[in-house]
Structure 1
């Protein structure tokens, strides 16, 4: 049994969706708001000193963190290639490039904008910083949209990148912005939304308003 420390709608959904896709046995320990709950941060810090999610405890008790690392690990441990192209697959270089692009460039912008006080002193400067970070993130998304294939990011080949797109387009600036500014990514996200193996994950993390 895998154990996933999670918060509905947060970055833990990236790992949760893959665990569900592979049909791996897992339990979810829902944490409180890590931004406001010291108790939640301390509970998570016992297994991950950075107190960040996703944090995945493997069946043997070892801890995995970092979304891209978890993605590659789960493909290795299941011996499957439906979410991660195998080493010699022609799509492998593009997959690795854009997977790391998302986690190394886009994902951190949420931390910067959500917690500007970590990086910039002064309320006014923090507000401006958040606006600048969100604008920069939109430029990164536009770059991805220009590289996206159809119906999936890698073209005919479905992958974990499509799961990441479906989850992360639910976050700021959210789906309506993507529909107008990044239509390829929006179409990919809607396609992933409709996949039955992930339906319960999306209901748990993004319940209808």
Structure 2
């Protein structure tokens, strides 16, 4: 599949919004699956191989058709949307909603997504096992606070920025399913919850959600 996109990813991770965006764009892509630690042998890329692609050893990474490699989910999503302006998956540069789009894409990446690194493996910060429950609770409380903060400042239409689905909606839909998970997200962010439910039901994404997101 020369000239197509290559997604270095894993089910249920930050590669899912990238895959969803490429699917909506109708762009050919293939996924090279990272081997999950809990399921050795189920995938294509070992942790060592992933580290050679992305020195942070994290997914997603995206191979572009011209051979360049991108990392960082928010940057990838913005690039894909901006590279396909007719899709309206991001506000145009002169659109009044462009500053809000960039603000919230960055907010999710910095304030929320980065905390998932902690909850994925609490041993990364816990000095011993007895510390893990406190760290988990405080990190999830922080994530919930961030969702409440964002929800208080957005004014959604059908979608977060108005009537057009954007990669921001896709990003929120995926990240909101991680800890502390959707039940708490729906209570903390009721305005965004309605948008997330709408994206969940998007008929164009049903097969992808089922296969890659569960």
Q: Report if the CA contact (8 A) 2:81-2:90 is conserved.
A: yes
Map of 1:53 onto structure 2: 59
SS of the residue 2:30 aligns to: strand
2:119 touches 2:179 (CA, 8 Å); kept in 1? no
1:27 aligned residue: 30
Out of 105, 120, 127, the position equivalent to 1:99 is 105
Contact 1:150–1:184 (CA under 8 A) maintained in structure 2? no
Q: Is 1:78 matched with 2:84?
A: yes
Cα distance in 2 for residues equivalent to 1:204 and 1:34? 19
Q: Which is worse superposed, 133-142 or 76-85? A: 76-85
* Unmatched 5+ stretches in structure 1: none
1:206 alignment partner in structure 2:
213
Pick from 141, 158, 162: which aligns with 1:155?
162
- Contact map agreement 2:143 2:180 (CA 8 A) in 1: no
Q: Any idea what SS the aligned residue of 1:71 has?
A: helix
| In structure 1, C-alpha distance between the alignment counterparts of 2:153 and 2:174, rounded to whole Å | 18
The alignment's TM-score, normalised by the length of structure 2, stands at 0.88
| 1:42-87 deviation digits (Å, cap 9, x = unpaired) | 1211211111111111123221100121112212333435111111
Aligned match of 1:2: 5
Q: What per-residue deviation string (whole Å, max 9, x for no partner) do you get for residues 125-157 of structure 1? A: 233112111111110011122123232111334
Q: Which segments of structure 1 move beyond 4 Å, counting only runs of 4 or more? A: 34-39
**In structure 2, what is the Cα distance between the partners aligned to 1:42 and 1:195?**
36
Aligned to 2:49: 43
Structure 2 unmatched ranges of 5 or more: none
Question: Does residue 188 in structure 1 map to residue 195 in structure 2?
Answer: yes
Contact 1:162 1:188 survives alignment (8 Å): yes
Q: Superposition RMSD on alpha carbons, in Å?
A: 2.0
Q: How many residues align?
A: 207
